[in-house]
Amino acid sequence: MSSWKNKNYSGSGYVGTRRNIIKPPIPLEFTTTACNRKVILMQTYQSFIRNLQGVDWSKSTLYINVDPLPDKDNIEAIEKMAIQIFGKVTIRYGKGSAAEANRWTLSQPKGKYFFNLEDDWVLTEKINIHDMIAQLERFPQIMQSYLLGSNIEEGRPTLMPSLMRRAAIQTLIRKMNTKSNYEQQMISIYEKLGKIPMSMRYGSKKYVHDIGREWMKKEGFIRINDNDTWERNGEEKKKNVEEMEEELFI
């Protein structure tokens, strides 16, 4: 691993030059696996609209899978919210399987690169999409440029927010099934291939924060069966969704 890093770049991660900031915003394809948690998804998209520079959101495309967890009440509100942000939205209502959701979303993009964004990560600092594209252009053997949210071995694939190379991820998808955890399958393939680097961290610090775990803990949920089923763990907690939505920009 260290020899690969030394041959290709110095230091941890990669950050492009500031001159990329002057490039005009571009349309981009996004993929999202989501549960029926409108407020959480709003927080995620709000943070990326605010901090992911260089994207023309009104001309971008979203492919989103929404699973009926924790329930299916008012699930159509997710699509209504998404079309306020993206120029085109293609939505699939799943049955609760995280693996099936990942298979569908990651198979949808048509362009060279796309951005994979699960519904519960917030971007905490400004970055430029042109820099992430430059990183993948500079290292054509790499499948993804990811934003660090938790410490992982650099080189292994991840479902943390990432700019992905479509051809590479679709090659990987063909080796996977929809019966078990998608990220764990990706890691297993990476290990079987001798840990040939498949990903590269963008920058040297944490850029994203996982708000999903905080939400699960607050609401008293636990996950079983690879997210196919959620169960209450202890006393049910309630929140005023309307008041929370008023605090957000949509």
Which has the higher per-residue pLDDT, 222 or 101?
A: 101
pLDDT at 219 over 70: no
Strand partners, 221: 232
For residue 52, give the nearest of 118, 115, 139 by alpha carbon. 115
Residue 174 Cα to chain centre, angstroms = 20
Q: What does the pLDDT average to over 214-225?
A: 60
pLDDT digits (tens, 9 = 90+) for 73-91: 999 999 999 999 999 999 9
Q: What does the pLDDT average to over 170-193?
A: 94
Q: What is the CA radius of gyration of the chain?
A: 18
pLDDT at 217 over 90: no
For 131-249, strand residue ranges (E) read: 144-146, 162-165, 199-201, 208-210, 221-224, 229-232
pLDDT for res 235: 41
Kindly state the helix (H) or strand (E) to which residue 170 belongs, with its residue range: helix 166-173
Kindly state the helix (H) or strand (E) to which residue 89 belongs, with its residue range: strand 88-93
pLDDT for res 150: 85
pLDDT for res 65: 97
Report the alpha-carbon distance of residue 185 to residue 15 in Å, rounded: 29
pLDDT at 143 over 80: yes
Domains and their CATH numbers in the chain:
2-210 (3.90.550.10)
Cβ burial of 115 (10 Å; 0-12, 13-18, 19+) is: buried
Mean pLDDT of the chain: 84
At residue 151 the predicted structure's pLDDT band, cuts being 50, 70 and 90, is confident
pLDDT for res 238: 38
pLDDT digits (tens, 9 = 90+) for 93-125: 999 889 999 999 999 999 999 999 999 999 999
Report the alpha-carbon distance of residue 54 to residue 165 in Å, rounded: 18
pLDDT digits (tens, 9 = 90+) for 183-202: 999 999 999 999 999 999 99
For residue 205, give the nearest of 129, 127, 113 by alpha carbon. 127
Report the alpha-carbon distance of residue 159 to residue 164 in Å, rounded: 10
3-state secondary structure of 246: helix
CB-based contact 74:41 (threshold 8 Å): no
Which has the higher per-residue pLDDT, 9 or 197?
A: 197
pLDDT for res 23: 87
pLDDT digits (tens, 9 = 90+) for 38-56: 999 999 999 999 999 999 9
pLDDT digits (tens, 9 = 90+) for 10-25: 334 655 544 444 789 9
pLDDT for res 236: 41
Residue 61 Cα to chain centre, angstroms = 14
For residue 228, give the nearest of 91, 95, 114, 53 by alpha carbon. 95
